[in-house]
Structure 1
Amino acid sequence: MGALGTAAVARMEQRLFWFRAMSAEDRSWVGLVAQSGVAAFVDWFKNPDRVRPAIAVEVFGTAPRELTRSVSLQQTVEMVRVVIDVVETRVQELAAPGGEQQLREAMLHYSREVAFSTAKVYARAAEARGAWDARLEALIVEALLHGDREEGLQTWSAALGWSRTPVMAVAGLLGGQDAEEVLADLRAMARRAGHDVLAGAQGDRVVVVIGVADQFGAAPISAVEPLAGLFGPGPVVVGPPVTDLYAAGRSARAAVDGLRAAPAWPDAPRPVSAADLLPERALDGDEAARRRLIQEIYLPLRGAGSPLLDTLSVYLEHASSLESTARMLFVHPNTVRYRLSRVAELTGFTPSDGRGSFALRVAVTLGRLSERD
């Protein structure tokens, strides 16, 4: 048995270039597996009462789990083939007189069991790796939502092979679906599209963090549209794009806050940007949304002078009527039109639009409340 194991390793060094490039420790483990395989075959052949050889335990159980990362499944198959070839070349001297055919048939049966056991070992390793990745992803998502900015985020993301930017978060609901199936489908579809992806479920809520593939860089929200159908019924909210995973907590929290406030806008598109839900988020108590509305709408209007802010306030109070606003301010309707166009330029929200007027009204109200002291 020792001679056969040694001969098998020597043949591997001759025929398998990648085997020669392995570390001495890994080569020694492979040699031990080869010897264990030969020993297990001899023991099984000597005991015909054993219907099925326990290959997974007797052969592969000798090697550490880390070996499945150093040696791929294809390489393992090549090594098994080399070992079988070595044993077959010595059938004449190994078999008892007249027992050559019996030995060849036993080797055929044994090699089939080796093939199945090899596949089983690597399948278990893949399952364990997949389960570990899923737990790690859920841990990262949880850390992002709770504002964890430790260096561990970068280490964990590196372990998952994360590399793409920009990064944005997506939040939706399970809607009674199986969490593991939904997460698996989201990961699979995102990776097929070329994105990096992390996903985790928290009760009925699903949060996905995506490193957007290059082809979606100009319009990152378009990367989410194919994924929206995998979530359960209800809104799907997309957080703002950020520069890297280290800053993804801001996007994740915006997406979750938007998901919480989204029922206030039943006709919202799916997916919808968290920025489009700023008024609802502000009314729901989201301090970050309130600050953005004040900083991006109210303060620019106040800084542009009282005519713009006064014109907008009167326009909103008089049912968005140009004529009524002009009469109240004693100006021409064209003056009102010009001032409202300036409001739209400064804020990005059109006063004559339903959603725009709603956001402007909430922002102006919040801005005035912020100055009451």
Structure 2
Amino acid sequence: MPNVVTPAEKAETLAWLRRISGDLATATIKRLEDTLPWYADMPPARRSTVGLVAQAGITSFIQWYDDPTSTPWIAADMFAAAPRELLRSVSLQQTLQLIRVTVEVTEERVAGHGEDLREAILLYSREVAFTAADVYARAAEARGLWDARLEALVVDSILTGEADEELPSRIAALGWHGHGEVSVLVGTTPPQFDVDQVRRTARKLGVDVLVGVQGSRLVLVIGRTEPAGRSGDDAAELPFPEIARRLEPGFGAGHLVLGPAVPALVDASQSARAALAGFAVARAWRNAPRPVEADDLLPERALAGDAAAKNTLVERIYRPLSAHSTDLVTTLWSYLDNGRSLEATARELFVHPNTVRYRLKRVSDVIGWDATGPREALILQTALILGAIGTDMTRRRSPATRRTR
């Protein structure tokens, strides 16, 4: 049968606890120094704060013993003395060690003063442990929400190209491990988006990711990690198209567009612009693969008015061919205008079909695109049209031409 404590006995016990509370705090701090190495290694100011938490715990216990119904707020009150910085520097495990030492010292000192007091200490220590877990969980949740907002801000800065001098520090605060090439992947957000699964997959592939969810659009900024962060296989050597293919299950239905690789994260806005422009027009390519590279959508992007795509087509195709040989440009024009027929092209140019075949091979060698494929033929023809328009406009605007008029 449990012992029944009379009001007078309880009042006497409370008075005694209040008298020895200072001694309990001193003994607890001494025990912390003797048994917890991490406490002894702390800077003096932080060690003092931990001591205040221990002392607050003893004071809170006395108040709780006086009125057990105050458990919810009395137990939480002991952490009020701890600044936010302390929660970042002292782990939950260390906090539980602090609670255990405080309870041990208190139990030793009150031994022989009744089972009811000992049971009260055990009940209160349980409440404090639960409260500590709740405090740290809330701190972790707040940190997670802050990181998510910061990550969204960084991704938005990359997409808009409005990077400032604070961008590197924001990226560092997110723990970004990418230190090499970067590419941007744009697709749709799935109904049940699992960001943790995306990050796990990225780590296995030897890359780091920044995740941006913008309504129905999902954006991943993908960066290669340092060699020291690789898992020992050759996953980090995978090309970005293959990395995008392995990340593809994390996206929703619809098109998935990969921007070109850029040297570093500070240049990611270039890849982002290309990926966004490609994503906007991807539906115009009826059989577009998933994922598709933004540079494979150059014709559609150019038709939609993307100046970067127009410039890329002219600089990568028209100008190199024109600089190499006018015969290659003429042959390519004729071949495309004649429905990619070798015989019709040969008749128009008064050459042998083998000559046409040789020149087309030279075109492929110079610019890397093969005119005999239907998709690449569209890319090349768009480049020729844009190059001819640009050349004609340059000719009409030249100072010499204006002076002769």
Answer whether TM exceeds 0.5 for this pair. yes
Which of 185, 190, 195 lines up with 1:170 in the alignment? 185
Matches within 5 A, 1:105-254: 105-164=119-178, 165-174=180-189, 177=191, 181-183=193-195, 185-191=197-203, 193-213=205-225, 214=227, 215-254=235-274
Give 2:50's aligned amino acid: V
Identity of aligned residues (%): 48
Give 1:226's aligned amino acid: R
Partner of 1:72: 91
1:114 CA displacement: 1.6
Q: Distance in 1 between matches of 2:379 and 2:22?
A: 80
Change (3 A) 1:16 1:188: same
Whether 1:269 aligns to 2:289 is yes
Partner secondary structure for residue 351 of structure 2: coil
Q: Deviations over 1:307-327 (max 9, x none)?
A: 101111111111111111111
Whether 1:24 aligns to 2:24 is no
Contact 1:200-1:206 at 8 Å conserved across structures:
yes
Partner of 2:304: 284
Whether 1:8 aligns to 2:28 is yes
Whether 1:86 aligns to 2:101 is no
Contact 1:172-1:206 at 8 Å conserved across structures:
yes
Give 2:110's aligned amino acid: V
Moved segments of 4+, more than 6 Å: none
Q: What residue ranges of structure 2 are gaps of 5+ in the alignment?
A: 1-20, 228-234, 394-405
Give 2:208's aligned amino acid: D
Matches within 5 A, 1:329-368: 329-368=349-388
Give 2:34's aligned amino acid: Q
Change (3 A) 1:229 1:56: farther
Q: Distance in 2 between matches of 1:42 and 1:111?
A: 12
Give 2:152's aligned amino acid: A
Partner of 1:309: 329
Whether 1:322 aligns to 2:336 is no
Q: Distance in 2 between matches of 1:78 and 1:225?
A: 47
Structure 1 stretch 104-113 or stretch 316-325: which is displaced more? 104-113
Partner secondary structure for residue 167 of structure 1: strand
Q: Normalising to structure 1: TM-score of the pair? A: 0.92
1:363 CA displacement: 0.7
Q: Normalising to structure 2: TM-score of the pair? A: 0.85
1:170 CA displacement: 1.0
Give 1:76's aligned amino acid: T
Q: Distance in 1 between matches of 2:204 and 2:48?
A: 38
Q: Distance in 1 between matches of 2:104 and 2:245?
A: 53
Contact 1:141-1:198 at 8 Å conserved across structures:
yes
Q: Distance in 1 between matches of 2:387 and 2:75?
A: 69
Q: Deviations over 1:284-312 (max 9, x none)?
A: 11111111110000101111111101111
Give 1:235's aligned amino acid: H
Change (3 A) 1:192 1:29: farther
Structural RMSD (CA): 1.8
Give 2:216's aligned amino acid: D
Contact 1:182-1:231 at 8 Å conserved across structures:
no
Partner secondary structure for residue 211 of structure 1: strand
Partner secondary structure for residue 172 of structure 1: strand
Q: Distance in 2 between matches of 1:153 and 1:322?
A: 54
Contact 1:174-1:204 at 8 Å conserved across structures:
yes
Change (3 A) 1:361 1:55: farther
1:192 CA displacement: 5.6
Whether 1:52 aligns to 2:55 is no
Contact 2:185-2:219 at 8 Å conserved across structures:
yes
1:155 CA displacement: 0.6
State how many pairs are aligned.
364
Q: What residue ranges of structure 1 are gaps of 5+ in the alignment?
A: none
Contact 1:212-1:223 at 8 Å conserved across structures:
no
1:220 CA displacement: 2.6
Q: Deviations over 1:165-185 (max 9, x none)?
A: 22211111126x26xx45455
Q: Deviations over 1:25-81 (max 9, x none)?
A: 211111111111111111111224x16342553111221112111111122122222
Q: Distance in 2 between matches of 1:360 and 1:270?
A: 22
Contact 1:172-1:236 at 8 Å conserved across structures:
yes
Partner secondary structure for residue 42 of structure 2: coil
Q: Distance in 1 between matches of 2:216 and 2:50?
A: 47
Structure 1 stretch 156-165 or stretch 210-219: which is displaced more? 210-219
Q: Distance in 2 between matches of 1:260 and 1:336?
A: 37
1:186 CA displacement: 3.3
